[in-house]
Structure 1
Amino acid sequence: MPDPPAAPIDDDTELMTPAEVQRELRISPSTLRRWANDGDIEVVRLPSGHRRYPAAVVTAIRRRIPDPAAT
């Protein structure tokens, strides 16, 4: 699969690692990769090629996911 396009990022934007995002959203690594490849979550590529995710985007997604503990 082709890599998603790199999003422009400000130096002061807080970024999260894939492991942090997976923990926060309670999703698998393959789900996160698929979301990134499909453009469903913004991804930032570091010069090393590693993926990072803007914390604000992750927080916005988390707010839309129902909390299973609340049921």
Structure 2
Amino acid sequence: MTAGSEIFPYQNNSGRHQRGRCGSVEVEGKLLTPGEVAAMFRVDPKTVTRWAAAGRISSIRTPGGHRRFRESEVRALLAGEGGLIDDDADS
């Protein structure tokens, strides 16, 4: 495992468990909370959760069931490289 990576069992966006070897997956890079992502996009954290539920942004579930987002993916979306977010970001 490299520095800055973590291992979590996770669920995909459909809520079904996805398991790598030994029931966990190695995650490279920093993971952000919905609140941290929301601050970057200047929206409510619930909006970020809705985006994840709709499949507009990928998320990882911690063992406790909380969503986490890859910082590299979020930064790419902010730079306009993902085309994920529409003008209804505040809804």
Q: Which band: TM-score by shorter chain?
A: 0.7 to 0.9
Task: Report how many aligned residue pairs link the two structures.
Answer: 63
Give 5+ residue unaligned stretches, structure 1. 66-71
Question: How far, CA to CA, are the matches of 2:52 and 2:27 in structure 1?
Answer: 21
Q: Please list, as runs of the form range in 1=range in 2, the aligned pairs for 1:1-71 lying within 5 A after superposition.
A: 4-5=13-14, 9-64=25-80
The alpha-carbon deviation at position 34 of structure 1 amounts to 1.1
RMSD: 2.4
Report deviation, 1:49: 0.5
Task: Give the TM-score normalised by structure 2.
Answer: 0.58
Gaps of 5+ in 2: 1-11, 86-91
Higher relative contact order (CA 8 A, sep 6+): 1
Counting helix residues as a fraction of each chain, which structure ranks higher?
1
> Deviations along 1:20-67, whole A, 9 cap, x unmatched?
1011111112211110001000100001111100001110111128xx
- Measured after TM superposition, the shift of residue 19 of structure 1 is 1.0
Q: Which amino acid in structure 2 is aligned with residue 23 of structure 1?
A: A
Between Structure 1 and Structure 2, the one with more strand by share is 2
TM-score, normalized by length of structure 1? 0.72
Q: Which entry has the higher C-alpha Rg, 1 or 2?
A: 2
Distance 1:13 1:29 in 2: 21
